[in-house]
Chains A and B, each alone.
Chain A
Amino acid sequence: MSPAARPLLIEQGASYAGILGIGAYRPARVVPNSEIVDAIDSSDEWIQQRSGIKTRHIADDSETVVSMSVAAARDALAAARVDARQVDCVVVATVSHLLQTPSAATAIAHELGTDQAAAFDISAACAGFCHGIALASDLVRGGSARHVVVIGVERLSDITSPTDRGTAFIFADGAGAAVVGPSDTPAIGPVVWGSDGEQYDLIRQREDWRDAIAAEAPEIPHLVMRGNEVFRWAAFSMAKVAQQALDRAGLTVDDLDCFVPHQANNRITDAMARAMKLPSTVRIARDIIDAGNTSAASVPLALERMIRDGDAKSGDVALLIAFGAGLAYAAQVVTIP
């Protein structure tokens, strides 16, 4: 060590972080089951019984990953009363930004009017938003950022086959956003997260781009899913992860006001609630009925809906859990802003 070496200066972050505001963007076009069923030889009744879904929003050409994200983020900033210039990091969770590089996040940060905020995308599929909230909380507490915009956004209609009976009725489009910043009290609990790469193939893009292009009739590679195996994993393993997130925050199901699981399938939500023995007083997110499964966007969309409908009130304790391709999962307890 040189005699002149001095210890590095480090940043001190906020003692606690919290979600300061939630925002959403739902594409204008609403597609009922009746428009889906012919291509998959199914019925409205079957889809509702298997998933709970009645309608979903599908983006048009003008509703891009970037434009939907900007709209949702502006909504979240307004709710949080935070100016875009105060945002110093933008984290975007998505699997349907079809430009490999640059990330969607830098364009979004620019359009929002941030002052050259750090910006990057993360790939954790349906679990992406809860990964983003965990990162944002640590960035704020670690001093790397003061206000982080976390966005979950998808245009799954671009990568879903309309003739695939296992996915065509499930996947949909939309964007949700949260502003994470300093809080006077602990408002984002410890994350419980992980992965199970042994089940890498349960939900995936069917083939990589090179194989897709080499095909006789090239098309965008679609998502494929082994539904019953996903159901078993999600309904039961994820109930245990959700319970761990409560334990880590020092709470029990009796302390919960709201349960906001990834809107994968209403049947998964029902099975999780049963496995966790949630009291009937806990309000459970059911945005999937009108919004379908929007992967990374589903948790913030469901949260926004509960706040707007009065099912989640300021100060309420909500358990978030998201899970999907990878397999990857993340859960944490948060306080509703």
Chain B
Amino acid sequence: MSTEEIRAALADIVNEVAGVDADDVQLDKSFVDDLDVDSLSMVEVVVEAEEKFGVTIPDDEVKNLKTVGDAVAYIERAQAA
């Protein structure tokens, strides 16, 4: 998957979980500060992303995923591993 494909699929998940407009879910956006995704919604996003992208994102790792770009990069690395 390309970076853009991962971003778009992640945007759909964020939309479904937190009701955020998918077009707002851009790489430079912070989940907490820009998109108002709190830590519980973030857990839901992570679990949905694990299923969709076939990767594992441990709880300890979630706090490092501050922006959409962080999450997309993590998923890319995990898929390549």
Shortest beta-carbon distance from A49 to chain B in Å:
7
Q: Give Cα A235 to B17, complex, Å.
A: 13
B residues adjacent to A (C-beta < 8 A): 38-40, 43-44, 46-47, 59, 62
Q: Which residues of A contact B44 (CB under 8 A)?
A: 235, 271
Q: Give Cα A267 to B46, complex, Å.
A: 15
Shortest beta-carbon distance from A229 to chain B in Å:
5
Q: Which residues of A contact B40 (CB under 8 A)?
A: 50, 228, 231, 267
Q: Which residues of A contact B38 (CB under 8 A)?
A: 49-50
Interchain CB contact under 8 A, B47 and A228: no
Let me know if A120 is at the binding interface, CB within 8 A.
Answer: no
Q: Which residues of B contact A267 (CB under 8 A)?
A: 40
Excluding A50-B38, A50-B40, 19 further A-B contacts by CB distance (< 8 Å) are A49-B38, A228-B39, A228-B40, A228-B43, A228-B59, A228-B62, A229-B59, A231-B40, A231-B43, A232-B43, A232-B46, A232-B47, A232-B59, A235-B43, A235-B44, A235-B47, A236-B47, A267-B40, A271-B44
Closest to A226 in B: B59
Shortest beta-carbon distance from A185 to chain B in Å:
38
Secondary structure at the A interface, as helix, strand, loop or mixed, is helix
Q: Which residues of A contact B62 (CB under 8 A)?
A: 228
Question: In the complex, which of the residues B38, B44, B46, B62 has the most CB atoms of chain A within 10 Å of its own CB atom?
Answer: B44
21 A–B contacts from the bound complex (CB under 8 Å):
A49-B38, A50-B38, A50-B40, A228-B39, A228-B40, A228-B43, A228-B59, A228-B62, A229-B59, A231-B40, A231-B43, A232-B43, A232-B46, A232-B47, A232-B59, A235-B43, A235-B44, A235-B47, A236-B47, A267-B40, A271-B44
Q: Which residues of B contact A271 (CB under 8 A)?
A: 44
Closest to A229 in B: B59
Task: State the total of A-B contacts with C-beta under 8 angstroms.
Answer: 21
Interface string of A224-247 (1 = CB under 8 A from B): 000011011001100000000000
**Chain A stretch 208-230: residues in CB contact (< 8 A) with chain B:** 228-229
A residues adjacent to B (C-beta < 8 A): 49-50, 228-229, 231-232, 235-236, 267, 271
Enumerate the 5 nearest inter-chain pairs by beta-carbon distance, A residue then B residue, closest first.
Answer: A232-B43, A267-B40, A236-B47, A231-B43, A229-B59
Q: Which residues of B contact A236 (CB under 8 A)?
A: 47
Q: Give Cα A187 to B1, complex, Å.
A: 50
Q: Which residues of A contact B59 (CB under 8 A)?
A: 228-229, 232
Question: In the complex, which of the residues B40, B44, B59, B62 has the most CB atoms of chain A within 10 Å of its own CB atom?
Answer: B40
Q: Give Cα A232 to B44, complex, Å.
A: 7
Shortest beta-carbon distance from A337 to chain B in Å:
35
Q: Which residues of B contact A231 (CB under 8 A)?
A: 40, 43
Q: Which residues of A contact B39 (CB under 8 A)?
A: 228
Q: Which residues of B contact A228 (CB under 8 A)?
A: 39-40, 43, 59, 62
Shortest beta-carbon distance from A179 to chain B in Å:
37
Closest to B62 in A: A228
Closest to A50 in B: B40
Q: Which residues of A contact B43 (CB under 8 A)?
A: 228, 231-232, 235
Q: Give Cα A4 to B60, complex, Å.
A: 67
Q: Give Cα A235 to B62, complex, Å.
A: 17
Shortest beta-carbon distance from B63 to chain A in Å:
9
Q: Give Cα A49 to B38, complex, Å.
A: 10
Q: Which residues of A contact B46 (CB under 8 A)?
A: 232
Q: Which residues of B contact A50 (CB under 8 A)?
A: 38, 40
Q: Give Cα A229 to B47, complex, Å.
A: 12
Q: Give Cα A231 to B62, complex, Å.
A: 14
Closest to A51 in B: B40
Closest to A46 in B: B38
Q: Give Cα A228 to B57, complex, Å.
A: 14
Q: Give Cα A271 to B43, complex, Å.
A: 10
Closest to A237 in B: B47
